[in-house]
Amino acid sequence: MNLRSIWSVAAAEMRMNRRLARTWLFIVVTLFMCVGLLINSFVNYSFSSSISSTTLLNSPLMAPYQLYPALIGFFAIWVIFLAFDVRSRDKRDRLDEVVGVLPITNLELVCGRATGITVLMLIPIVALIAVYWIAGVVARLTWPESGIREPELFVTLATLFIDMIPNILLWVALVMAVTVLVRLRVIAAAIALGLVGATIWAQNNVPIYVLNVINTYTVADTLPSFLAPTFTNLEIITHRAGMLFLSFAFLCFAAVLYPRLDKTNKPRLLIAAVVLLSLGTLSIALVQMQFRSEHTSRVEMAATHEPYSELHQIDTDSVTGRLTIRPGGSTHIDFSLDMHSLQQIDADNELILSLNPGYEIHALRLNGSNAPFKFRDGLLAINVSVPIQPSQSFNLEIEASGDLNKDFAYLDTAVDVISSDIFQAFGLLFQGTEAYINSSRYVALVPDLAWYPLPGAHVKRDLKHIRPRDFFEMDIGVVVPNDWNVAGPGQAEIATAGDSRLVSFQPSAAVHEIAMFASAFERRTTEIEGIEFELLVSPGSVTNVDLFAPVLDELKSHVKEMLVSAETYGLSYPYRSFTIVETPINLRSYRGGWRMDTAQSFPGVFAIREGSFLHAGFKAPFDRLAEDKEISQEERLEKILAFLTGYFENDVTGGNIYLAASNNLMQYQTDATGPGAIPLSYLMSYLAGSVSTEQEGFYSAHVTMGTASQGQSAVGIATVARASDGRTLNRMFYDWHINLPNVWEAMLAQPLDEIEYEDLDNSKSNLHVLHLWGRAMAHLTRDWLGNEQLGLLLSELRTRYEGTNYTYTDLVAVANDIGIDITPIFGDWLTNTQLPGFRASNARTVRLPDQEYGVPLYESSFYIENAEPVPGLITVEYGTSDFNESEGEYEVTQPIKIPGNGSMQIALTSEQPLERIRVNPYLSYNRISFSVDVPRRRVYDEVARSEMPLVQAASWQYEDGDSVVVDDLDAGFSVDSTEESRSMPWFMQFLTFALGETTHDQGLASYGTSGFSLVFDEWSRQQLDQAYGKYRRTLARAFRTSTVANVHFAANLPRSGSWKLEYHVPNPESIGNSFGAGFGPGVNFNVQVGERRGRQRWGDFDIWVTDGDRVVPIEFDGESIDDGWNLLGEFQLENPLVTVSVSTNTSRGSVVADAIRWTPAS
């Protein structure tokens, strides 16, 4: 093969394609889209980055993650339209015979043409990246507040040198091979496009363990990190080499098949093609095998540990010694661990510990003597020569070094990459993939890596009811290069000697785990209330820190306020230092186990992810505040501070610094164990956080991984939604992903103590049940006890059990000791799933005698019944304006206890007649709050009496009289459908971000809980305050369709005869803000966007009554439908069992099936 010939053909090909209009069209379109993508990313980020770290996906840091695959991917598709006529073009140009006599081989010809197209496509890619780079640098230097910066160097280089050529060349070669195989270029293009489509389909559908075979972008493997950049690895190199082999194989095939007389030895070329094809396949298979091997290795390690997973044998008292970090090299530990036994360990038995298998153990001494040990798959089994008695202390000295095994961490993660789908995989990638980072610039040693010896097996560590937390003292010196700093628990004592630095950590309180982060950080400290707040960030990340400098005093007083508040409740911060450390974006930010909790919070340390808070666009809003002359300086500073708090309040990625800090107050000092330990620990931690910081939040890796993959528009929607109702993003996400029918059903299906947390398949459901229960319970507890009593309880609990664990019995005992009765709150919460259920009468408002100075006084009273045997608590919100309006002012009562099967009368007084009353049950069958009808009058009855007490016992019961009501949640309600629900089509799936998850509510699909709702041409269930319901107010709803699907309300009437039938229809405007789509099985796709508030009208409902064999159709004119009960007519019924059916065949919009009511006509 003559390279000069190839290049001469390539040059001609480039010139040829350069002249084609489509080439420029492709380039312009791609560049336009990519620049648009960048601009969208930057603009989106500039608007939303100061709101929440949830927008991290849009950050300039992540821009290459989106841009590079798009950029190369587009060109890889375009080359089809350049390469598909390389054969026919010569013929069309009547140049085939001239080309035929050129002194070049067919191989040189096809290689040259492939090279020409590839190089031509590479030029705009390189150009755009170069422009992006330069613009990024210029923007960073001249316009730092824009957030725009150059792409990360290493991943950019990897894209340019490793990804770009194989990606383009493979498609060119493949298309050329197809082109010479099939003569018609249209067919060739169609086949190539089909292959592209198949690849895209495969990327979305193949099992994740196959995905690395078709993932061709470095940036999709490793996130772009400035802190710990990654260029490439052997697997990527092997994969790309495989792609090149395949490319050359296709070119050889094309050369063999090329219809031009060529005396090249075709059999030899064919053999070369087969060999290259084999090499390519083998290379990619090797990558796959390596991936499988890593997974197998993890499975094997987990299997080795599994037999010991419930062994709770020893407890660590202290860890002392030295850790030597050699950046990019090995890690060395020389530790002494004081421990005590929790059980009898006989001679020749083993002490079981976990230690990263990357270590080579140089010395191991038990009580000063060398001890025989086995060390396999990270399981360290130390042979005991002398029996150890329960509670007997012993000392373990260990010296080990090595390159830690990154796969050893998080062995039992509920959602493992190998078993996740593509959307989860993207979400997982976004949350970081590396459990261990050891580069020349950054070293991260998270506790789950077992970089120091951990008692017991390295699985099921988060099953607190089996494996109580191990709290211990520590005194560790960390040796790092002399320009490095280290984040660790407690205050760092720094001593520099020569070219190394010794950073010592000896926290003033116990810890249960140790995380160490080391790098050439810029270190800033400040002291508040005797606690050192240390900030360790990369030098490039200090800009935002400086932005908050003007409010440093306010910030300090804000923190001081929280510290004092916590102290007041007896929850003082336990360490002398709190460190905020910047961590690389590719460091995994969630843990393993069933819960997959955040990995950003450690004792004394908060890990803030690269690209999030430290790079959020605060400057622009701050500048706007500075320019606003209408607000005072004080207000300005308050608003700046509000940005800070709001940012973390809105977090859904586990990066809420307030909650991370509050973890140190309770659960890092003492934790629950025994039956119910997991919910109890959750509750206590939640309470500690809420009383000390007034912040709430939840973290679910399942939610984050789902939202991460659903695009940027989601952030915009979320931001708009947040702006519309004032909820925090975290609260919105709670409503969209936790407060869902399926989670409620799961919670009601089994008592808390029967939940099998070790069943990883149900980890999402279990976690979300925990969040649902925990939040409601925390609110109930706090409201019932009040901050003072709650603080007293938490404080006493922590004092008594600091450094150890407590059980529920211990908690009750502590409460009793300090005179707090927690029984009304908890009841038999562990073993019982029964909840109270509340129904309320309409309110009656009267005018009482005026107060002093003629101030009017109104009293609105209503009855509330708990129709279930379990007592329950409620609060009542009441006010004079609409609750849905953010300016609505309302008051809230203290919790009111309603006895089981009992009722109360509640009387609310006000100077203006109340317009709205809302009952908020904590945990009840009602699930959410519901409104009480408050009839409005021009003149209210005047009564000459004093006001009633807020709450008094009553004997009121909700009654339907002689009527028979069938609600959509009743057993008499049924749907003609063989399938529960169709899954949402892929092109609509992105909506789930904004509309909540698609779940099932008593057998019917439930789309969205976010205020928006989707309506499909199948029946789904929607929760609506204006709907009818015993406890829960729901209705079934469907978009009109000719594919008739019916619902039936079957009623068992006490007697035959004349009955009136009523049909309940909610106010159509109350369903507002919804839009729907109807699509039959592949038939129609109708988007309905007309149901806006104030414009909604019902169509004619298609309803009929079936009485035995008699079917009576009913005319139900949409124009005449009233809100509430509508009389459909009077029927002479012959059978007691009568059915009212409704079809989806309505004349407009959607049809609802809420409830029917039969009342005797007499």
Partner 1 sequence: MTDAAFGAMSTQLPTSTPLVNPLVLGRKPMADTGPLTHFSLRTGESSIDVNGVTHYYGKSGPTVLDDITLHLETGFYGLLGTNGAGKSTLMRIICTLLEPKKGSVSVNGLDTINDCLAIRGQIGYLPQSFNAWRLYRTEEVLDALARMSGVTDKRLRKLRVKQVLEEVGLDEVADRKVKKLSGGMVRRLGVAQALVHDPGVLVVDEPTVGLDPEERIRFRHLMADLGQNRTILCSTHIVSDLGSGCKEIALLDDGKIAFQDSPDAFVNQAKGRVFEMLVDLETSVQIEDTYEIVSRETVDDKVKLRLVIDRDTPAPEGSTPVDSSTLEEAYLAFMGSIGKFAAVRADEEADLQVEESAKKKKRRARKERKA
* Minimal distance, residue 85 CB to partner 1, in Å: 12
* Minimal distance, residue 4 CB to partner 1, in Å: 6
Four-residue CA torsion sign, 340, 341, 347, 353: negative
- Token pair, residue 68, equals 């590079």
If you write DSSP's letter for every residue of 934-974 in order, what string do you get? Answer: ----SSPEE--SPPPPSEEEE------TT-EEEETTSTTEE
Nearer of residues 5 and 860 to partner 1, judged by Cβ: 5
If you write DSSP's letter for every residue of 461-526 in order, what string do you get? Answer: TT-TTTS----BEEEEEEEEETT-EEE-SSPEEEEEETTEEEEEE--SS-BS---EEEES-EEEEE
Nearer of residues 102 and 285 to partner 1, judged by Cβ: 102
Contact between residue 647 and residue 51 where contact means Cβ atoms under 8 Å apart: yes
Nearer of residues 11 and 813 to partner 1, judged by Cβ: 11
Quote the radius of gyration of the chain (alpha carbons, Å): 34
* Minimal distance, residue 80 CB to partner 1, in Å: 20
* Minimal distance, residue 179 CB to partner 1, in Å: 18
* Minimal distance, residue 253 CB to partner 1, in Å: 21
> What's the rounded Cα separation, in Å, for the pair 683 and 226?
38
* Minimal distance, residue 111 CB to partner 1, in Å: 13
* Minimal distance, residue 269 CB to partner 1, in Å: 14
Phi first, then psi, for residue 885 (nearest 5°) are -90, 135
Four-residue CA torsion sign, 137, 139, 141, 146: negative
**At 1050, is the secondary structure helix, strand, or coil?**
strand
* Minimal distance, residue 92 CB to partner 1, in Å: 9
Contact between residue 236 and residue 166 where contact means Cβ atoms under 8 Å apart: no
Nearer of residues 88 and 383 to partner 1, judged by Cβ: 88
Beta-carbon contacts of 351 under 8 Å, excluding residues fewer than 6 positions away, are: 313, 314, 345, 366, 381, 382, 384, 388, 396
Q: At residue 120, what is the residue type? A: L
**At 1104, is the secondary structure helix, strand, or coil?**
strand
* Minimal distance, residue 89 CB to partner 1, in Å: 8
Nearer of residues 99 and 1112 to partner 1, judged by Cβ: 99
* Minimal distance, residue 245 CB to partner 1, in Å: 26
Nearer of residues 262 and 968 to partner 1, judged by Cβ: 262
**Whole-Å CA distances, 430 to 68, 202, 585, 706, 1003:** 16, 20, 8, 10, 34
Nearer of residues 9 and 870 to partner 1, judged by Cβ: 9
Q: Indicate the angle between helix axes 763-801 and 808-817, nearest 10 degrees.
A: 40
* Minimal distance, residue 176 CB to partner 1, in Å: 18
The helix or strand, by DSSP H or E, that contains position 333, with its residue range, turns out to be: strand 331-341
| DSSP tag of 53 | G
Nearer of residues 15 and 624 to partner 1, judged by Cβ: 15
Contact between residue 708 and residue 425 where contact means Cβ atoms under 8 Å apart: no
Nearer of residues 28 and 1111 to partner 1, judged by Cβ: 28
Nearer of residues 105 and 704 to partner 1, judged by Cβ: 105
> What's the rounded Cα separation, in Å, for the pair 797 and 684?
10
The counts of H helices and E strands in the chain are 28, 50
> What's the rounded Cα separation, in Å, for the pair 863 and 844?
10
> What's the rounded Cα separation, in Å, for the pair 638 and 823?
41
Nearer of residues 12 and 275 to partner 1, judged by Cβ: 12
Nearer of residues 94 and 1055 to partner 1, judged by Cβ: 94
* Minimal distance, residue 104 CB to partner 1, in Å: 6
* Minimal distance, residue 112 CB to partner 1, in Å: 8
Nearer of residues 272 and 644 to partner 1, judged by Cβ: 272
Residue 112 has a CB neighbour count (10 Å cut-off) of 23
DSSP bridge pairs for 783: none
**At 899, is the secondary structure helix, strand, or coil?**
coil
If you write DSSP's letter for every residue of 401-467 in order, what string do you get? Answer: EE---GGGTTTT-SS-GGGS-HHHHHHHHHT--BSEEE-SSEEEE-GGG--S-EES-SSSTT-TTTS
Q: What is the largest CA-CA distance in the chain?
A: 116
* Minimal distance, residue 84 CB to partner 1, in Å: 17
Nearer of residues 102 and 275 to partner 1, judged by Cβ: 102
Residue 74 has a CB neighbour count (10 Å cut-off) of 20
* Minimal distance, residue 12 CB to partner 1, in Å: 4
**Whole-Å CA distances, 795 to 80, 212, 666, 822:** 69, 51, 9, 15
Nearer of residues 104 and 923 to partner 1, judged by Cβ: 104
Beta-carbon contacts of 506 under 8 Å, excluding residues fewer than 6 positions away, are: 474, 475, 476, 490, 491, 493
Of 433, 414, 771, residue with least CA distance to 592: 414
> What's the rounded Cα separation, in Å, for the pair 480 and 520?
10
> What's the rounded Cα separation, in Å, for the pair 110 and 178?
12
* Minimal distance, residue 15 CB to partner 1, in Å: 6
Applying CB under 8 A, which residues contact partner 1? 4-5, 8-9, 11-12, 15-16, 19-20, 93-95, 97-98, 100-105, 261-263
Nearer of residues 16 and 379 to partner 1, judged by Cβ: 16
Of 412, 487, 491, residue with least CA distance to 445: 487
The helix or strand, by DSSP H or E, that contains position 1137, with its residue range, turns out to be: strand 1137-1142
- Token pair, residue 536, equals 């360790």
Nearer of residues 22 and 1095 to partner 1, judged by Cβ: 22
* Minimal distance, residue 168 CB to partner 1, in Å: 22
Nearer of residues 15 and 1097 to partner 1, judged by Cβ: 15
* Minimal distance, residue 1 CB to partner 1, in Å: 12
